[in-house]
Amino acid sequence: MAENELNAEVVSMTEVAPGLMILRVKPVGWELPDFTPGQFAVLALPGSAPRHPVTDPEETPLPPDKLIKRAYSIASSSRTKEHMELYITLIRSGALTPRLFNLNLGDHLFLAPNIKGAFKLDQAKPGSHIVMFATGTGLAPFMSAIRTTFGSDMARRYVIVHGARHSWDLGYRAELETISSHSANFTYIPVISRPDDEKTGWTGAVGYVQDVWRLDVINAEAGFQPKPDNSSMFICGNPEMTENMVKLLIADGFREHSKKEPGEIFVERYW
Ligand SMILES: Cc1cc2nc3c(=O)[nH]c(=O)nc-3n(C[C@H](O)[C@H](O)[C@H](O)COP(=O)(O)OP(=O)(O)OC[C@H]3O[C@@H](n4cnc5c(N)ncnc54)[C@H](O)[C@@H]3O)c2cc1C
């Protein structure tokens, strides 16, 4: 495979809400490598690829042949070899996402053949419950974890807290509600920050991901209190949420994990 070849093909694009999509790509003439849930892939398109018409025009055109590369957490199971799934939000002023949102089925793009990332869900302490906090597309690595390991690991409890502005921005809600309704050890807690915009009423949690922690909603919904000695805490999404959640958890006795000093808090920062 030549370096920078557009080596992957779009096999499906699902619009979750305006500016939010689930993208599936498959490698062309090569095999997807192994990866651990939590890790990310690198997608790219050249500067010559057209931008979606509803996005901001570029002030300075990018070099047409240069690939614009960005990281995306993998949402599919690590057992799925036919395609890779990514959950992507459109940044109207951005360089790559306006081009990704302009792709069509069958179009080609670059998918880096090596998968990277130290944010791995298998770092959870053996036997500990897995508590996951996400905003927006920060849910992607947790979808991969649930899809890969949940069914074969019934001894521990899994909790996903997913924050978004509106109910319609809660991608994967139907899949997570279905798992939740069938599994005593899986709890899904969606939380929205703009309930006044809802047309049909919202009966779930309101506010931010951090409020779910502060108000002990996990204890009420999942029936256990996550503590440093029984849970591993995974956080992924926007910087405000990640920083605030880390502070709250540290105040409750959790420690941020590093190679030198093992802890119970694992964080992926998107920007
Ligand atoms: C390890 C890692 C994993 C990532 N996984 C995902 C993912 O699964 N899905 C995804 O949509 N993005 C993800 N990102 C962000 C992604 O790499 C790009 O930064 C993003 O798509 C914007 O690219 P762009 O070229 O369009 O915008 P750029 O021109 O690069 O503008 C970047 C700016 O866009 C904003 N931004 C970036 N990402 C987001 C986001 N997800 N939501 C809201 N605002 C954002 C920030 O203000 C950032 O400074 C990840 C980033 C990292 C480092």
Instruction: Kindly report the average pLDDT of the chain as a whole number.
Output: 96
Ligand 1 close to Cβ of residue 62 (< 6 A)? no
pLDDT, tens digit, 9 for 90 and up, residues 184-197: 999 999 999 999 99
CA proximity to 267, closest of 166, 91, 135: 135
The mean per-residue pLDDT over the stretch 240-262 comes to: 96
Tokens 């009423």 locate to 201
Q: Which of 18-27, 54-63, 145-154 has the highest mean pLDDT?
A: 18-27
* Chain-centroid distance, C-alpha 84: 13
The mean per-residue pLDDT over the stretch 167-171 comes to: 97
CA proximity to 124, closest of 95, 100, 148: 148
Contacts of 129 (CB under 8 A, 6+ apart): 156, 157, 158, 159, 224, 226, 230, 231, 232
* Spacing, Cα 230 to ligand 1 middle (Å): 32
Provide the pLDDT confidence category of residue 153 given band limits of 50, 70 and 90.
Answer: confident
* Spacing, Cα 44 to ligand 1 middle (Å): 13
The mean per-residue pLDDT over the stretch 235-245 comes to: 97
Provide the pLDDT for residue 66.
95
Ligand 1 close to Cβ of residue 101 (< 6 A)? no
Ligand 1 close to Cβ of residue 88 (< 6 A)? yes
Ligand 1 close to Cβ of residue 71 (< 6 A)? yes
pLDDT, tens digit, 9 for 90 and up, residues 123-146: 999 999 999 999 999 999 999 999
- Confidence check: pLDDT of 42 > 80: yes
Share of the chain above pLDDT 70, in %: 100
The CA-atom distances, in angstroms, between 164 and each of 39, 146, 198, 208, 263 are 22, 19, 13, 8, 27
Q: Beta 40-46 vs 67-73: how paired, if at all?
A: antiparallel
- Confidence check: pLDDT of 262 > 80: yes
Strand ranges across the sheet with 231-237: 205-206, 186-192, 158-164, 129-135, 231-237, 265-269
The mean per-residue pLDDT over the stretch 83-108 comes to: 98
Provide the pLDDT for residue 114.
95
Query: Quick one: tokens of 50?
Result: 């057209």
Q: Distance (Å, rounded) from C-alpha 88 to C-alpha 64? A: 23
* Spacing, Cα 269 to ligand 1 middle (Å): 10
pLDDT, tens digit, 9 for 90 and up, residues 55-65: 999 999 899 99
Q: Name which residue sits closest to atom 33 of ligand 1, judged by CA.
A: 94
Q: Evaluate whether 98 touches 165 at the Cβ level (below 8 Å).
A: no
The CA-atom distances, in angstroms, between 43 and each of 6, 46, 51, 137 are 10, 11, 15, 15
Q: Distance (Å, rounded) from C-alpha 266 to C-alpha 133? A: 10
For CA atoms 190, 221, 129, 33, the dihedral sign is negative
pTM to 2 decimal places: 0.96
User: In b/e form, how buried is each residue of 102-140, taking b as 16+ CB within 10 angstroms?
Assistant: bbeeebbbbbbeebebebbbeebbeebbbbbbbbbbbbb
Q: Distance (Å, rounded) from C-alpha 105 to C-alpha 15? A: 13
Higher pLDDT, residue 1 or 17: 17
Q: Name which residue sits closest to atom 7 of ligand 1, judged by CA.
A: 72
> For residue 187, what are the β-bridge partners?
159
Proportion of the chain in helix, strand, coil states, percent, rounded to 5: 25, 30, 45
Q: Distance (Å, rounded) from C-alpha 7 to C-alpha 9? A: 7
- Confidence check: pLDDT of 221 > 80: yes
Provide the pLDDT for residue 3.
74
